[in-house]
Amino acid sequence: MKNNNTPVIAIHGGAGTISAATTSATQAQAYHDALQSIVRAAQAQLLKGASALDATCLAVELLEECPLFNAGHGAVFTHEETHELDAAVMDGATLAAGAIAGVCHVRRPVRAARAVLEDGAHVLLAGAGAEAFAREHGLEMVEPFFFSTEARRQQLYRVRDTGRVVTDHEGAAMTPPLDEGKKFGTVGAVALDMHGHLAAATSTGGMTNKRVGRIGDSPLIGAGTYADDRTAAVSCTGSGEMFIRVAAAHDVCARMAYGGATLEAATHAVVHQSLPAIGGTGGLIAIDRHGNLSLAFNTEGMYRGHARGDEAPATAIFA
């Protein structure tokens, strides 16, 4: 096992039935390049002594700004052709957590979640109250069209005609790259810093054609996001309702704390047993207090990247 002084960063850009058979080298390279640059930025901060919380928030901010992913700029549309964004952060050292849900003017939702954590009065703020809080804390606000891309709008139109609500990669007719109709659109990061502390952060635009007001697992502490220095940091991506029902992120940590499971065994049990038992698909990234890493998913692919210490980052899309 690596000692706790070796920092580790891992990120994900969503899981789903991304098809290797229909993925061109150019499409794949765009994702690898984005994941590489974001991992490197967070890795550099960790090597300078930054906290795991700072590194995960930086990584998720950069993912939110990249239109390849369904968080921030490039977020999917609700049934009413609006955007509702969710994000959460958790500090494993203190179990402090902050989250926001259903916002449409906050440029970087993860910053608002971090502000909720630092304020300390609440854990989860939603809707207009969350936006007022963000304004009071001086965060950058934008008009909702900032998050829109034409590819996402066309994705909504195709899905809305079917009457379905889909995660960000369902439906074979969606726009490339990488079969954008069949991706679970969430981004996240987990980190272990050189001080031995863990943190997790997650952000999402939700589900295409979702009902206004729908909230998934990403901003729910214990469902899509969790971190505890005694066990692990976890960020999830997938069919959010199912992740909520099995308290996926916390269950990984609970299996380790109470059952003595290794990180690999705990994540495997959640991703390949608990979730499929109720029809749940997707994946998660997790780092334990020893620096062990798990990037588990039960779909064909999950956009992911990681780096340990000063080693070159590794990125992958398929199994």
Per-residue pLDDT reduced to its tens digit, 194-243: 999 999 999 999 988 889 999 999 999 999 999 999 999 999 999 999 99
* Dist. CA 170–CA 43, nearest whole Å: 32
Q: How confident is the model at residue 24 (pLDDT cuts 50, 70, 90)?
A: confident
Output the pLDDT for position 273.
98
Q: How many domains does the chain have?
A: 1
Q: Kindly state whether residue 277 falls inside one of the protein's structural domains.
A: yes
Token pair in block for residue 103: 């916002």
Average pLDDT of span 307-316: 98
Q: Kindly state whether residue 160 falls inside one of the protein's structural domains.
A: yes
Helical residues (DSSP H) of the chain, grouped into ranges: 25-47, 52-64, 109-119, 127-136, 150-160, 240-245, 248-259, 263-269, 275-277
Output the pLDDT for position 126.
98
pLDDT in tens, 133-148: 999 999 999 999 999 8
Q: How confident is the model at residue 23 (pLDDT cuts 50, 70, 90)?
A: confident
> Is 222 assigned a ligand-binding role in the annotation?
no
Phi, psi of 183 (to 5 degrees): -105, 140
* Dist. CA 227–CA 188, nearest whole Å: 13
Output the pLDDT for position 199.
99
Decide if pLDDT at 4 tops 70.
no
Output the pLDDT for position 175.
45
| Reduced 3-state DSSP string for 231-285 | CEEEEEEECHHHHHHCCHHHHHHHHHHHHCCCHHHHHHHHHHHHHHHCCCCEEEE
Decide if pLDDT at 314 tops 90.
yes
CATH number for position 12: 3.60.20.30
Decide if pLDDT at 72 tops 70.
yes
Q: Kindly state whether residue 206 falls inside one of the protein's structural domains.
A: yes
Q: Kindly state whether residue 2 falls inside one of the protein's structural domains.
A: no
Does 186 participate in catalysis according to the annotation? Answer: yes
Q: Kindly state whether residue 73 falls inside one of the protein's structural domains.
A: yes
pLDDT in tens, 253-270: 999 999 999 999 999 999
Output the pLDDT for position 168.
60
Decide if pLDDT at 171 tops 60.
no
> Is 239 assigned a ligand-binding role in the annotation?
yes
Output the pLDDT for position 183.
53
Decide if pLDDT at 17 tops 60.
no
Q: How much is the mean pLDDT over the chain?
A: 91
Output the pLDDT for position 50.
98
> Is 317 assigned a ligand-binding role in the annotation?
no
Q: Kindly state whether residue 163 falls inside one of the protein's structural domains.
A: yes
> Is 214 assigned a ligand-binding role in the annotation?
yes
Decide if pLDDT at 84 tops 50.
yes
Output the pLDDT for position 173.
32
Token pair in block for residue 192: 């272990």
Average pLDDT of span 84-104: 98
Average pLDDT of span 62-66: 96
Decide if pLDDT at 28 tops 70.
yes
Average pLDDT of span 184-203: 95
Decide if pLDDT at 158 tops 50.
yes
Percent of the chain with pLDDT over 70: 92
> Is 33 assigned a ligand-binding role in the annotation?
no
Q: Kindly state whether residue 256 falls inside one of the protein's structural domains.
A: yes
Question: How many Cβ atoms sit within 10 Å of the Cβ of residue 119?
Answer: 13
Average pLDDT of span 31-58: 98
Question: How many Cβ atoms sit within 10 Å of the Cβ of residue 185?
Answer: 28
Decide if pLDDT at 182 tops 90.
no
Decide if pLDDT at 178 tops 70.
no
Instruction: Yes or no: say if 92 and 228 are a contact pair by the CB < 8 Å rule.
Output: yes
Instruction: Yes or no: say if 260 and 305 are a contact pair by the CB < 8 Å rule.
Output: no
From the list 245, 197, 237, the residue with the least C-alpha distance to 90 is 197
Decide if pLDDT at 155 tops 90.
no
| Rounded to 5°, angle at Cα 231 from 285 and 255 | 85
Please tell me which residue in 17, 78, 167, 186 is annotated as part of the active site.
186
- One-letter amino acid at 298 equals N
Q: Kindly state whether residue 180 falls inside one of the protein's structural domains.
A: yes
Helix axes 25-47, 52-64, angle to 10 degrees: 150
> Is 235 assigned a ligand-binding role in the annotation?
no
Q: How confident is the model at residue 3 (pLDDT cuts 50, 70, 90)?
A: very low
Q: What is the bridge-based pairing of β-strands 293-297 and 282-288?
A: antiparallel
Quick one: residue 263, left, alpha or beta (phi over 0 = left, psi -120 to 50 = alpha)? alpha
| Residues of the domain holding 137 | 8-318
